[in-house]
Structure 1
Amino acid sequence: MFAHMTQRGDKSMFAIPPRRLRTAFAVFTSIAAGPMGAGPALAQGAASWPSQPIRFIVPYPTGTQTDITARIIGNEITQATGQPVIVDNRPGASTLIGAEALAKSAPDGYTIMLTTNTTSAANKSLFIRLPYDPLKDFAYVGLLNTTSQVLVGRADIPANTLDEFLAWARKQKNLEAGHWSAGSQVSVAMLKSLGGIDLLPVPYKGGPQAVTDVLGGQIALTFTDFSSALPHIKNGKLKGIGITAPKRSSVAPQIPALAESIPGFDVLVWTAIVAPAGTPQSIIAKLNGIVNHGLARPEVKAKFADIGFDVSPSSPEELTRFVEREIDRWKKLVDNAGIAPQ
């Protein structure tokens, strides 16, 4: 940055005038102090965190398992801190909208997001370009829970068992199947390839919209979460065909695992909490402790069990390593399903 010095007799002189040099030095020190100057401010804010409401971005529609999860955990955070947690639903574009909003938020602990296998793992393989980097733009707080999805179909499908459904479906042409997340998209592709069914994938903004169209007869099938599926299955408006986990769920043991008749069908999904990269570690650690304390409470475990979730607490470091492995796992799932990145 500084110009070289030249010798004239016994005097040293700058190749640029001293006045200009002083100006350049002032600019340099101002730039250098910028990020460092932010450090004390962040440290002060971290010490008093939280002193204001916390925004909790959910990149899915209201009423979904992810939305319910955020509200359960948000209540635990409020109980522990006394600060309101405001759920901000930002659905659409396979969670890209919500994820980009988080990545652009200030790393001060007052904006967090409910992430999933879609946002943090699968999207790297489903899209050629992402508006965020799941490892560089997120600070991982803690894993929350794991679950599977349910394949539901129209009530008039002439089948009462999984094998009967497969026999019927294999005779159909362009059977429309809705998807709205990486888990549902991969599940549709696996049902098509492993199940030998001629499916026509139909994208949706969220699970509830896909379920609505199955109820209305616009499409035949969709994969959705337990909270969206079970009420309609119980009242006979939808057929519960199978779940994506390798074994049946205690929430709905009457619904078979798709793997019982389609060997190799295994799509588990999960949720976790992230903050913007650069969030002070003291805030990450405090939030992780609050979340894990909540997950250990019997009442919270029961609420998650009611919607088909198993709690899975972790440390921030464990979650980060888990996400790194999940990125590789979902790449294999996407590749094996034959899905081309968009």
Structure 2
Amino acid sequence: MSKTIDRRHFIAAGAGAFAVPFVSRGASAQGASQGTSQVTWPARQIRMICSYPAGGQTDLLARAYGEFISKQVGKTVVVENKPGASGAIGTAEVARAEPDGHTILCSISTTYIMNRVVMKNPGYDMDKDLTLVSVIPGAGLLLVANPKTGVKTLEDFVAFARKSGKVNFGTYSAGSAPHMTINELNKQCGLNIEPVHYRGEAPMWTGMLEGTLDAAMGSYTAAQSVLQSDRGTVFAVHSKKVDAIPAIKTLPEQGATSKFFTVSGFSGWAVPKATPQAVVDRLSELCVAANSDPKVKEVLATFVLEPAIGVKETNALYQRELPIWIESAKSLGLEPA
């Protein structure tokens, strides 16, 4: 059930540009919100700002999709990594950019949704400053138990937690999906699961390997070091089944009732709010078309991700999940930093 993941293949492109000799398709922007003016896009090099570090999932998606877009429009796409503050640094830069489609953000739902709850001043207002173009719905996150617990199902885990009185459960950051999952399970089942927050998935899974955690929650790909060494047992997936482990049931399938267990989060692209709708639509079309590109398909398969969806579906997903994320996040009682 494991995959061999060679990230060097993707990272080799570095922070450089992708330029190819194809003629771009012009885009006309008309409508009440844009007046009657017309624009041709792209007119010059495109900057794609990735608000997370080089070499990670978000970066590799940005580079694969950016290369495809470059080939289609005949203009260079430069991927720039601007990490920090849960994606807020890079996002604020895009929010301030000219709304002409030549500066694009690639980020994740933490940046698009959660920062407004956990940060006093992220430097941008998602709903006023940015427009979502296309997203890749999140994969099912794995709930993994230390084998010594004997846990194989959610029912087993609840019984273990009640018997133990206290459970050390790893998360990859405060305010993350694992943190909210712990909170919701505590509320539903009357448990005392203690979140142990790490700075990222890698150190969290190291904690599982070292045996210091009773359980942890994260992505299928990042969990491979634990699963392949038989140092963890998957007992549930958050809201979506994972194709590589189809026998593992979701939390709702095992009786968990919180609305939070119906959301998936996402990775994807956004542009400054006043970007002409025709440019937004063209970018969305390109992201969807990229799903058939071999390099894009390889990255999606590496991280067990679904293909990118169009602008209408993207914004419907955002509006559907937004209030659930906000409600669950606020229930954590975290003071904005």
**TM-score of Structure 1 vs Structure 2, range by shorter chain:** 0.7 to 0.9
Which residue of 1 is the match for residue 137 of structure 2? 145
**Partner SS, residue 184 of structure 2:** helix
Decide whether the 8 Å contact of 2:47 with 2:78 is kept in 1: yes
Give the counterpart of 2:327 among 332, 337, 340. 332
CA 1:89 to 1:188, structure 2 compared with 1: closer, same or farther past 3 Å?
A: farther
CA 1:129 to 1:230, structure 2 compared with 1: closer, same or farther past 3 Å?
A: same
Q: Percent identity?
A: 24
The alignment of Structure 1 onto Structure 2 pairs a total of residues equal to: 295
**1:196-207 equivalence runs, <5 A:** 196-207=190-201
Which residue of 1 is the match for residue 271 of structure 2? 275
Whether 1:113 and 2:109 are equivalent positions in the alignment is no
Which residue of 2 is the match for residue 314 of structure 1? 310
CA RMSD of aligned residues (A): 3.2
Between Structure 1 and Structure 2, which shows a larger proportion of helix residues?
Answer: 1
Which residue of 2 is the match for residue 62 of structure 1? 55
Between the aligned partners of 2:219 and 2:211, the Cα distance in structure 1 is: 19
Decide whether the 8 Å contact of 1:94 with 1:205 is kept in 2: no
Computing the radius of gyration from Cα coordinates, the structure with the larger value is 1
CA 1:98 to 1:150, structure 2 compared with 1: closer, same or farther past 3 Å?
A: farther
Report how far residue 127 of structure 1 moved.
Answer: 4.0
Once the two structures are overlaid, the 10-residue window that deviates more, 122-131 or 132-141, is 122-131
Between the aligned partners of 1:314 and 1:72, the Cα distance in structure 2 is: 17
Which whole-Å deviations, capped at 9, do the CAs of 1:197-220 have from their partners, x for residues lacking one?
A: 322223333323322333334544
Which residue of 2 is the match for residue 216 of structure 1? 210
Report how far residue 303 of structure 1 moved.
Answer: 4.8
Between the aligned partners of 2:110 and 2:87, the Cα distance in structure 1 is: 7
**Equivalent residue letter for 1:222:** A
Whether 1:99 and 2:111 are equivalent positions in the alignment is no
**Equivalent residue letter for 1:206:** G
Between the aligned partners of 1:128 and 1:48, the Cα distance in structure 2 is: 36
CA 1:103 to 1:156, structure 2 compared with 1: closer, same or farther past 3 Å?
A: farther
CA 1:70 to 1:221, structure 2 compared with 1: closer, same or farther past 3 Å?
A: farther
CA 1:222 to 1:69, structure 2 compared with 1: closer, same or farther past 3 Å?
A: farther
**Equivalent residue letter for 2:40:** A
Which residue of 2 is the match for residue 158 of structure 1? 150
Once the two structures are overlaid, the 10-residue window that deviates more, 132-141 or 161-170, is 161-170
Decide whether the 8 Å contact of 2:142 with 2:238 is kept in 1: yes
Between the aligned partners of 2:75 and 2:147, the Cα distance in structure 1 is: 45
**Partner SS, residue 272 of structure 1:** strand
Report how far residue 248 of structure 1 moved.
Answer: 2.9
Which residue of 2 is the match for residue 49 of structure 1? 42
Q: Which runs of 5+ in 2 are unaligned?
A: 1-36
Between the aligned partners of 2:83 and 2:235, the Cα distance in structure 1 is: 26
**Equivalent residue letter for 1:289:** E
**Partner SS, residue 118 of structure 1:** helix
Report how far residue 237 of structure 1 moved.
Answer: 3.4
**Equivalent residue letter for 1:104:** R
CA 1:84 to 1:58, structure 2 compared with 1: closer, same or farther past 3 Å?
A: farther
Q: Which runs of 5+ in 1 are unaligned?
A: 1-42
Between the aligned partners of 2:146 and 2:93, the Cα distance in structure 1 is: 36
Between the aligned partners of 2:117 and 2:277, the Cα distance in structure 1 is: 29
Which residue of 1 is the match for residue 4 of structure 2? none
CA 1:48 to 1:134, structure 2 compared with 1: closer, same or farther past 3 Å?
A: closer
Which whole-Å deviations, capped at 9, do the CAs of 1:296-339 have from their partners, x for residues lacking one?
A: 56874575255332225122x5534543343223223335x444
Between the aligned partners of 1:83 and 1:232, the Cα distance in structure 2 is: 42
**1:140-289 equivalence runs, <5 A:** 140-170=132-162, 171-173=164-166, 175-180=168-173, 182-245=176-239, 248-265=241-258, 266=261, 267-289=263-285
Between the aligned partners of 2:78 and 2:241, the Cα distance in structure 1 is: 35
**Partner SS, residue 169 of structure 1:** helix
CA 1:78 to 1:155, structure 2 compared with 1: closer, same or farther past 3 Å?
A: farther
Which whole-Å deviations, capped at 9, do the CAs of 1:138-171 have from their partners, x for residues lacking one?
A: 1221233332211234454433444333322331
Between the aligned partners of 2:150 and 2:329, the Cα distance in structure 1 is: 31
